[in-house]
Amino acid sequence: MVIASVRGIVKRYGDRVALDHVDLDIAEGEIVGLLGPNGAGKTTFIHCLTGLIRYDSGDIKVFGRAQRQHLLEIKRDIGLVTQEIAIFQDLTARENLQFFGGIYGLRGADLTRRIDETLELVGLTEYAGQLPVKYSGGMKRRLNIACALLHEPKFLIMDEPTVGIDPQSRYNILENARALNRQGTTLLYATHYMEEAQAIASQVVIMDRANVIAQGTVDELVKSVQSQETIRLEVAYPGDDLLERLRNLDGVTRVTQTGNQIQVASRVGADNLDSVLTLARESGGLQSVTTVQPTLEDVFLDLTGRTLRDQREN
Ligand SMILES: Nc1ncnc2c1ncn2[C@@H]1O[C@H](COP(=O)(O)OP(=O)(O)O)[C@@H](O)[C@H]1O
Ligand SMILES: [Mg+2]
């Protein structure tokens, strides 16, 4: 079953097009990783999908129902963890959960049971009586996630939930996402970390500059760039001269350098390993060599000519 189906969504902020005819289907039971650099349009997409902002044109159906007409019913089955953490600083964790549970119509024993369960899930049981001001960033985020889970949503949407938090919280969040998914929750998980998308997503949707530019399983996406083979060299002298000579070899499509590491990408079948190694030995002082499996980073690079990392908004 399709949980959400989005067709031709356009969203403009003044002159800026933030979503340019975006189509996307989210199937039940998936973890869909929405991957893209900052400014790609991920948050805008999520806000349109959940009815937080209006879009200019296009159609959205969630749980088979037209989103504009049935927004209230739809929201009952959605859990949304927004990019900015939304909790009350002057209420304890438990009081925050009581407030958000009340919004979803939970009362009495049911509410108490769900509060205890979600506190346990996010590992905050022993801090339930504290004000979030005393929490680390990761604990605030986990409380924020608990608030979105109280009503046991079928469809959980998380917008960059691990940005700027400690590794332990990050691990807790990713593990919980997986566990919820195993119990049947469908997830949409927005991130600009390709490692996270690669680790967690059963389907990856890559966004860039207001468009969906690719989608598929990690395997499918990575296979699409196997027109490239990458060799990683570690050399003592990674000089410009060596880089230049590598770039001039037959079949080489890209040479990049970070410190003593040089990555040489070639067309498949270029059969130039010997020449690459000879050059590296002669003028670089070759220390080690590995062949590199492509990652989602390579998929993005292949499609856009840019890297996912270190991007500024355009
Ligand atoms: N409220 C807003 N007003 C004007 N421009 C916005 C607003 N929100 C987002 N944008 C712009 O829309 C584009 C997409 O932003 P966003 O959806 O936040 O991307 P992402 O979540 O992928 O980082 C960016 O260029 C951003 O500057
Ligand atoms: Mg965002």
CATH number of residue 267's parent domain: 3.30.70.100
Query: From the CA of 260, how far away is ligand 2's center (Å)?
Result: 34
pLDDT of residue 75: 94
pLDDT value of position 275: 94
Is residue 205 within 8 A of residue 215, CB to CB? The reply is: yes
pLDDT of residue 310: 55
**Residue list, CB under 5 A from ion ligand 2:** 42-43, 83
Closest ligand to Cα 54: 1
Mean pLDDT of 191-208: 95
| DSSP secondary structure letters along 221-283 | HHHTTTTEEEEEEEES---HHHHHHHHTSTTEEEEEEETTEEEEEEETT---HHHHHHHIIII
Q: Is 269 left (phi over 0), alpha (psi -120 to 50) or beta?
A: left
Question: Which ligand minimizes its atom distance to the CA of 313?
Answer: 1
Residue 163 alpha carbon to ligand 2 centre in Å? 10
243 near 255, Cβ under 8 Å?
yes
Ligand nearest, relative to CA of residue 11: 1
Q: Could you tell me the pLDDT band of residue 188, with boundaries at 50, 70 and 90? A: very high
- Ligand 1 atom showing the smallest separation from residue 45 Cα: 17
Where does ligand 1 bind, in terms of residues with CB under 6 Å? 13, 16, 18, 36, 38-44, 313
Q: From the CA of 47, give the closest atom in ligand 1.
A: 17
Neighbours of 1 (CB within 10 A): 8
CA distance 275 to 257: 18
Same domain? 198 vs 241: no
Q: What is the pLDDT of residue 295?
A: 87
* Ligand 1 atom closest to the CA of 210, numbered from 1: 14
- In CATH, what number is assigned to the domain containing residue 63? 3.40.50.300
Q: Which residue has a Cα nearest atom 11 of ligand 1?
A: 18
| Radius of gyration for the alpha carbons in the chain, expressed in angstroms and rounded | 23
Q: What pLDDT digit, counting tens, does each position of 201-246 carry?
A: 999 999 999 999 999 999 999 888 866 788 999 999 999 999 999 9
Non-local (6+) Cβ contacts of 305 within 8 A are none
Residue nearest to atom 2 of ligand 1 (CA): 13
d(CA 45, CA 264): 36
pLDDT band, very low/low/confident/very high, at 314 (cuts 50, 70, 90): very low
Indicate whether 214 and 236 sit together in one domain.
Answer: no
Range of the domain at 171: 2-222
Residue 198 has pLDDT above 70, yes or no: yes
Examine the pLDDT at 169 and tell me if it is beyond 60.
Answer: yes
Which of 10, 11, 13 to mutate for ligand 1's pocket (most ligand atoms within 8 Å of CB)? 13
Alpha-helical runs (H) found in 4-149: 42-49, 71-76, 93-103, 108-121, 137-149
Which atom of ligand 1 approaches the CA of 46 most closely?
Answer: 17
Considering the domain boundaries, does residue 311 fall inside one? no
Tell me the mean pLDDT in the region 275-293. 91
Q: Looking at the structure, do residues 34 and 106 belong to the same domain, yes or no?
A: yes
Looking at the CA of 9, name the nearest ligand: 1
- List the beta bridge partners of residue 187: 31, 156
In this structure, is residue 183 part of a structural domain?
A: yes
Would 67 be classed as within a structural domain?
yes
Q: Could you give the number of structural domains in the chain?
A: 2
Q: 162 and 198: one domain?
A: yes
Please enumerate in sequence order all residues whose Cβ is within 8 A of that of 235, keeping only pairs 6 or more positions apart, or say none. Answer: 242, 260, 262, 280, 284, 285, 286, 287
Residue nearest to atom 8 of ligand 1 (CA): 44
Q: Tell how far the Cα of 18 is from the centroid of ligand 1, in angstroms.
A: 6
How far is the C-alpha of 286 from the C-alpha of 235, rounded, in Å? 4
CA atoms within a 13 Å half-sphere pointing along the CA-CB vector of 26: 29
Claim to verify: residue 206 and residue 298 sit in the same structural domain: no
Q: Are residues 208 and 242 in the same domain?
A: no
Q: Are residues 169 and 64 in the same domain?
A: yes
pLDDT at 294: 83
Enter the DSSP assignment of 126. Answer: G
The residue among 222, 242, 260 that closes a domain is 222
Whether 218 and 233 share a structural domain: no
Which are the contacts of 23, defined by CB distance < 8 A and separation ≥ 6? Answer: 6, 7, 8, 9, 212
| Structure confidence at residue 237 (pLDDT) | 92
Q: What is the mean pLDDT of the chain?
A: 93
Closest Cα to atom 27 of ligand 1: 39
CA 158–ligand 2 middle distance (angstroms): 10
Q: Ligand 2: distance of its center to the CA of 192 in Å?
A: 9
Q: Is residue 60 part of a domain?
A: yes
Residue 164 resides in a domain: yes
Same domain, 233 and 205: no
The pLDDT score that the predictor gives to residue 73 is: 94
Q: How confident is the model at residue 14, as a pLDDT?
A: 96
Tokens of residue 176, six digits: 């919980």
Same domain, 233 and 149: no
Residue owning the nearest CA to atom 18 of ligand 1: 43
pLDDT band at 132 (very low <50, low <70, confident <90, very high): very high
Distance CA 268, CA 277 (A): 17
Which ligand 1 atom is at minimum distance from the Cα of 38?
A: 23
Q: Examine residue 27 and state whether it is found in any structural domain, yes or no.
A: yes
Q: Do 111 and 234 belong to one domain? A: no
